[in-house]
Structure 1
């Protein structure tokens, strides 16, 4: 899914905002809700059935800064 987001940003919508860093599922930077499951976009494959839309939303119960970017201040303050 992360590759698809990067393609969308590069070729269709340069204003799309999302976080990414390691691209290996270690850092959790690209965490988001994909098809109803909280996961990291860098490890989540796109559904092979292209007739079904992939629904990507920000992490639930968090303040949205822009698009898929949420405020992680409260999360970081806990550590």
Structure 2
């Protein structure tokens, strides 16, 4: 019974004239939510900057010849036909 009440609401929510519903008051904390969203966006941007800074400084290292390129670009793997 409680589940039906949550799904369909109470009889007082509907007016007698028709099938219209009353509107609940909107929260006045929207500025607080906007501020939290802005802070979250700033934190995500800082994490992205940190991630990019850490991985841009990683040197290219070939596991085959230890030169300044990645293993899939190693010249020693090139086959001449």
TM range (shorter): under 0.3
Q: TM-score, normalised to structure 2's length?
A: 0.19
1 or 2, which has the higher strand percentage? 1
Q: If you compute each CA radius of gyration, which structure gives the higher value, 1 or 2?
A: 2
Q: Which structure carries more helix by proportion?
A: 2
